Structure 1
Amino acid sequence: MATSVKQVLEQKGTTFHAVRQTDSVFDALSLMAQFDIGCVLVTENERLIGIFTERDYARKVVLKGLMSRDARVGDLMTANPCTVTPASTVDEVMHTMTENRFRHLPVVQHGKIIGIVTIGDMVKSLVSQQQHTIKHLESYIAGDLAAE
Structure 2
Amino acid sequence: MKVSQILQTKGRDVATVSPDDAILDVVAQLKARRIGAVVALDGSGHIAGILSERDVVHALAEHGPNLAKLKVADLMTKDVTTCTPSNDVNHVMREMTQGRFRHVPVIENGKLAGLVSIGDAVKARIEELEHEREALQSYIAG
TM over 0.5: yes
Q: Does 1:51 align with 2:53?
A: no
In structure 2, list runs of 5 or more residues that go unmatched: none
Residue of structure 1 in register with 2:83 after alignment = 84
Residue 82 of structure 1 aligns to a residue whose secondary structure is coil
Query: Which one has a larger percent helix, Structure 1 or Structure 2?
Result: 2
Q: Deviations over 1:94-117 (max 9, x none)?
A: 111111111100001232000100
**2:17 match:** 19
Structure-to-structure mapping, 1:1-148, within 5 angstroms: 3-44=1-42, 45-143=44-142
> Secondary structure at 1:69's aligned position in 2?
helix
Aligned partners of 2:66 and 2:113: how far apart in 1?
Answer: 32
CA offset at residue 70 of structure 1?
1.1
Task: Determine if contact 1:24/1:68 at 8 Å carries over to the other structure.
Answer: no
DSSP 3-state at the match of 1:67:
helix
> C-alpha separation between the residues in 2 aligned to 1:30 and 1:107?
24
SS at match of 1:115: strand
Q: Distance in 2 between matches of 1:72 and 1:94?
A: 29
Q: Give 1:71's aligned amino acid.
A: L
For structure 1, list consecutive stretches of 5 or more residues without a partner in the other structure.
Answer: 144-148
Contact 1:22-1:74 within 8 A present in 2 as well: yes
What RMSD in Å do the two structures reach over aligned CA positions?
1.1
Name the stretch that deviates more: 63-72 or 105-114.
63-72
C-alpha distance in 2 between matches for 1:101 and 1:79? 15
> 2:41 corresponds to which letter in structure 1?
T
CA distance in 2, matches of 1:20, 1:5: 26
Report the Cα distance in structure 2 between the residues aligned to 1:76 and 1:62, rounded to whole angstroms.
Answer: 12
List, as ranges, runs of 4+ consecutive aligned residues in structure 1 with deviation greater than 4 Å.
Answer: none
Deviations 1:104-148 (A, max 9, x none): 0000123200010000000101100110011001001100xxxxx
What secondary structure, in the 3-state scheme, does the structure 2 residue paired with 1:42 have?
strand
Taking the aligned partners of 1:74 and 1:99, their CA distance within structure 2 comes to 24
Residue 137 of structure 2 aligns with an amino acid whose one-letter code is E
- Work out the number of aligned pairs and report it: 141
